[in-house]
C-alpha cells in the first residue's frame, strides 16, 4: 500500500468518526425529553371482566390487581359513540368494581374498558360482549301450561304441564283467601301439581298466574303475560259401562301385540291402543267412542298417555249425538307425561253420545300412536 492510499484511508476514517459524533448529538436532542420525563408506566388493565344482562340495562364488574396508580376507568360502547367515566379509589390490593349502565336499547353490545392514571396514560383495553333484554324479549315468554285448576272443600289443586323453558324458574299464582285478601303463591318448576289451601271459590273462583324467567347471567327477573283461569269443581267422570271403542286401525297381531281400541275404555293402565303396525298405517289416527246413550252437560274429554314418542301431540276432538253429524270442539295439545289424566275442556257443555279423537301428529319421530285411556266428564 503506497503513502497516497494510506492518507486517503485515514481521511475517510476521520470523516466517519466526526459524522457519528454529530449524529449522536442529534439523537440525544431528539430523545432528551423522554429522559427528562422518566420511564412511562402504563396503568394495569382491568381483570376478570364480566357482564350481566338486564332489562334495558347491564351490570359490569372487574378487578384491578395491585396497582395504586389507577385513578379512573372509561367504558366505551356503540363504536365508541357512548361512554361512561368511573372514578376509582385504588388501594394497591385487588380492588373490585361493580356498576350499572342504564337506559340501553334492547340488543347485543360490546363494551371496551380502559384504566387511566393521574397522567392520563391509559391501559390496553379489555372487552366484553353481552345482551340487553327489553320488551321484544318479554313478548316471547310463554306462561307454563296450566292443565287444570280444581277446587274441593276450600282446597285448590293445580295440575301443570311441562315447564315452559329452561330459563323459567316457576310460576306466580294470585288468588283470594277466605278473608278476601289477595295472596301470592309460588309454584316451582319441579312440581307437577300445586295445592293451595284456604281457597274459597264463592268469593272469586278465578285465579291469575304468570311464569317467572331468569336468563343466564341476568340481574333482572322477567315474567310472561298474566293469565286468568277459572277454577272449577272437581270433574265427575262418566262410567264407561257399555261403551264401545272403534279406531281407524289397530295392532291385531296375536298375543301381547294384540292392542285394540277397546283397551282405551277398560280402566286398566297396563293396556294400550296401538295403530296397525304391519303393514304400517301412518298418521293421522282416529279413535271413536260410543257412550251408549246421550250424556248431558259433558264438559270435556280426558286422556291418559305414556311418556314415549308415540304419544299424540296435537288432537282434534269432535262430538255427535247421532254418529252422523259431528261438531269440532277444538284443537288440543297433549302433554307427554306418564299416566296422568289430562282433561280437555269444551268451551260449552254438550249433550252428546259420541266423541272422536283425531290425532294429527306424534310427540316424536314415529308413525305410531299409543293411548292408555280416554273418558268424558262434567263439573
Superfamily for 146-234? Immunoglobulins (2.60.40.10)
Q: Which of 195, 194, 173 is nearest to 184 (CA)?
A: 173
C-alpha pair distances (Å), 4 with each of 1, 7, 11, 13: 8, 5, 11, 15
Domain layout of the chain by residue ranges: 47-136, 146-234, 237-378
Here the cell at position 365 is 319421530
The string of DSSP letters for 116-184 reads E-TT--B---EEEEEEEB-HHHHHTPPPPPEEEEEEETTEEEEEE-S-S-TTEEEEEEEEEBTTS-EEE
Here the cell at position 341 is 289424566
Phi, psi values for residue 260, rounded to 5°: -80, 170
Quick check: helix, strand or coil at residue 199? Answer: strand
Q: Identify the bridge partners of residue 359 per DSSP, sorted by sequence position.
A: 285, 315
C-alpha pair distances (Å), 156 with each of 109, 148, 200: 46, 10, 9
Which strands make up the sheet holding 107-116, listed edge to edge? 82-87, 72-77, 107-116, 126-132
The pLDDT score that the predictor gives to residue 1 is 54
Looking up cell 395504586 gives 68
- Assigned CATH for 47-136: 2.60.40.10
The pLDDT score that the predictor gives to residue 21 is 46
Distance CA 280, CA 248 (A): 12
237-378: same fold as 146-234?
A: no
The pLDDT score that the predictor gives to residue 153 is 86
Per-residue pLDDT 10s for the chain (379 aa) are 555 555 555 545 554 554 544 444 444 444 344 344 456 778 999 999 999 999 999 999 999 998 999 999 999 999 999 999 999 988 878 999 999 999 999 999 999 999 999 999 999 999 999 999 999 999 999 999 998 898 988 899 999 988 878 999 999 999 988 888 899 999 999 889 999 998 988 777 899 999 999 999 999 999 999 999 989 888 899 999 999 999 999 999 999 899 999 999 999 999 999 999 999 999 999 999 999 999 999 999 999 999 889 999 999 999 999 999 999 999 999 999 889 999 999 999 999 999 999 999 999 999 999 999 999 999 8
Q: What is the largest CA-CA distance in the chain?
A: 140
User: What is 237-378's CATH number, 2.60.40.3680, 3.40.50.1820, 2.60.40.1120, 2.60.120.260?
Assistant: 2.60.120.260
The pLDDT score that the predictor gives to residue 6 is 55
The pLDDT score that the predictor gives to residue 162 is 85
Alpha helices in the chain (DSSP H): 3-37, 135-139
The pLDDT score that the predictor gives to residue 92 is 79
Amino acid at each position: 500500500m503506497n503513502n497516497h492510499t494510506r492518507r486517503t484511508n485515514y481521511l475517510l476514517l476521520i470523516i466517519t468518526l466526526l459524522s457519528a459524533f454529530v449524529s449522536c448529538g442529534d439523537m440525544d436532542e431528539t430523545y432528551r425529553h423522554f429522559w427528562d420525563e422518566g420511564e412511562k408506566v402504563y396503568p394495569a388493565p382491568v381483570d376478570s371482566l364480566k357482564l350481566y344482562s338486564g332489562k334495558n340495562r347491564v351490570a359490569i364488574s372487574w378487578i384491578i390487581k395491585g396497582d395504586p396508580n389507577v385513578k379512573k376507568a372509561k367504558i366505551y360502547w356503540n363504536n365508541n359513540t357512548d361512554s361512561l367515566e368511573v372514578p376509582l379509589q385504588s388501594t394497591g390490593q385487588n380492588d373490585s368494581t361493580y356498576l350499572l349502565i342504564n337506559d340501553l336499547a334492547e340488543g347485543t353490545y360490546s363494551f371496551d374498558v380502559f384504566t387511566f392514571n393521574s397522567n392520563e396514560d391509559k391501559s390496553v383495553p379489555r372487552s366484553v360482549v353481552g345482551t340487553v333484554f327489553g320488551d321484544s324479549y318479554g313478548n316471547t315468554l310463554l306462561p307454563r301450561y296450566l292443565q287444570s285448576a280444581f277446587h274441593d272443600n276450600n282446597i285448590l289443586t293445580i295440575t301443570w304441564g311441562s315447564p315452559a323453558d329452561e330459563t323459567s324458574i316457576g310460576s306466580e299464582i294470585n288468588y283470594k283467601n277466605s278473608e278476601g285478601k289477595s295472596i301470592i303463591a309460588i309454584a316451582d318448576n319441579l312440581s307437577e301439581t300445586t295445592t293451595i289451601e284456604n281457597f274459597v271459590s264463592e268469593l272469586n273462583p278465578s285465579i291469575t298466574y304468570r311464569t317467572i324467567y331468569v336468563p343466564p347471567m341476568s340481574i333482572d327477573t322477567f315474567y310472561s303475560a298474566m293469565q286468568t283461569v277459572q277454577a272449577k269443581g272437581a270433574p265427575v267422570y262418566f262410567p264407561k259401562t257399555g261403551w264401545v271403542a272403534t279406531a281407524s286401525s289397530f295392532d291385531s297381531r296375536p298375543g301381547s301385540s294384540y292392542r285394540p281400541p277397546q283397551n282405551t275404555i277398560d280402566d286398566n293402565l297396563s293396556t294400550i291402543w296401538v295403530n296397525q303396525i304391519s303393514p304400517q298405517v301412518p298418521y293421522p289416527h282416529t279413535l271413536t267412542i260410543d257412550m251408549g246413550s246421550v250424556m248431558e252437560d259433558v264438559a270435556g274429554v280426558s286422556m291418559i298417555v305414556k311418556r314415549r314418542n308415540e304419544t299424540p301431540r296435537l288432537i282434534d276432538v269432535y262430538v255427535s249425538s247421532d254418529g252422523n253429524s259431528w261438531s269440532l270442539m277444538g284443537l288440543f295439545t297433549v302433554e307427554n307425561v306418564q299416566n296422568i289424566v289430562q282433561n280437555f275442556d269444551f268451551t260449552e257443555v254438550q249433550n252428546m253420545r259420541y266423541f272422536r279423537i283425531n290425532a294429527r301428529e306424534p310427540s316424536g319421530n314415529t308413525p305410531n300412536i299409543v293411548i292408555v285411556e280416554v273418558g268424558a266428564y262434567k263439573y
